[in-house]
Amino acid sequence: MSTAQSYITEITRAQEAERKRIACELHDETIQDLFTVITDIEEIITGNDRLSAEDTRRLRCLQSTINHVMGGIRRFCSELRPGLLDSLGLLPSLELLVEEMNSDEELDCRLEITGCQRRLPSEIELVLFRISQEALRNVRKYAVATEVIIGVDFGNRKVILNISDNGCGFAPDATLENYVHGGKLGLLGMRDRVYMVSGSFSVESEAGKGTKITAVIPIPSN
């Protein structure tokens, strides 16, 4: 691994550790505190028969606003670092991404699993998840697609991830480094993450013909 690549690897690991810490803090502290506020308001409402109907309505309104804020924080946590990824692994986390994509009615997003489906080393699962997350973000931002397929093929010694859309496509710059100047770090970040786990990465795209992202990652034999 070159010095630059090991530097990127260390920065990426530190960034992931920080995201995990923030997600845990928000999940275990902030959401818990907000829940206590909702319960306290409930006690005020039920334990006070002198409250006017208007006061009760306003307190109920406050509870539902806090509930809404909690929902937003939960979604943010799951984007930062889905708890599912650590507990149940890659596939349930990808299913969640697919579900979110499908909330856009114009878009049909599917997950296709082949091979012997199983848990992989956590670093590999995280790489595959982050690539899918960014690739789907790009589909939403740029592709104007009606169909996206996420394919995961579990081989004995390698796992292959494909994300293909039928959108507008683009002419990928052969040197992904060139995107850095425009502050575009998505494709480059995907590639660098794949390199961290000794895999290979490609972007195939052409105007009018959609886009296909492929990552091939070797699975270490214990």
Ligand X SMILES: Nc1ncnc2c1ncn2[C@@H]1O[C@H](COP(=O)(O)OP(=O)(O)O)[C@@H](O)[C@H]1O
The closest alpha carbon to 210, from 153, 162, 160, belongs to: 162
Work out what residue 82 binds among Mg ion, ligand X, none; the CB cut-off runs from 5 to 8 Å by kind: none
Site for ligand X in 108-167 (CB under 6 A): 138-139, 141-143, 165, 167
- Tokens representing 176 are 């992904």
CA–CA–CA angle 12, 15, 21 (5° rounding): 145
Which residues, in sequence order, are CB contacts of 126 under 8 Å at separation 6+?
16, 85
Q: Based on CB atoms, which residue is closest to ligand X, 126 or 135? A: 135
- 139 or 159: whose CB is closer to ligand X? 139
* Shorter beta-carbon distance to Mg ion: residue 47 or 182: 182
The binder of Mg ion chosen from 78, 93, 132, 138 (CB under 5 A): 138
What minimum distance in Å lies between the beta carbon of 136 and ligand X? 9
User: Which of residues 23 and 176 has its CB atom nearest to Mg ion in the complex?
Assistant: 176
Task: Provide the 8-state DSSP code for 141.
Answer: I
Which residues lie closer than 8 Å to 195 by C-beta, 6 or more apart? 1, 5, 8, 201
Q: Which of 186, 195, 200, 203 binds Mg ion (CB under 5 A)?
A: 186
Q: Which residues pair with 109 in a beta bridge?
A: 148
* DSSP summary character for residue 28: I
Residues that bind Mg ion (CB under 5 A): 138, 186
Residues that bind ligand X (CB under 6 A): 138-139, 141-143, 165, 167-170, 179, 184, 186-187, 211
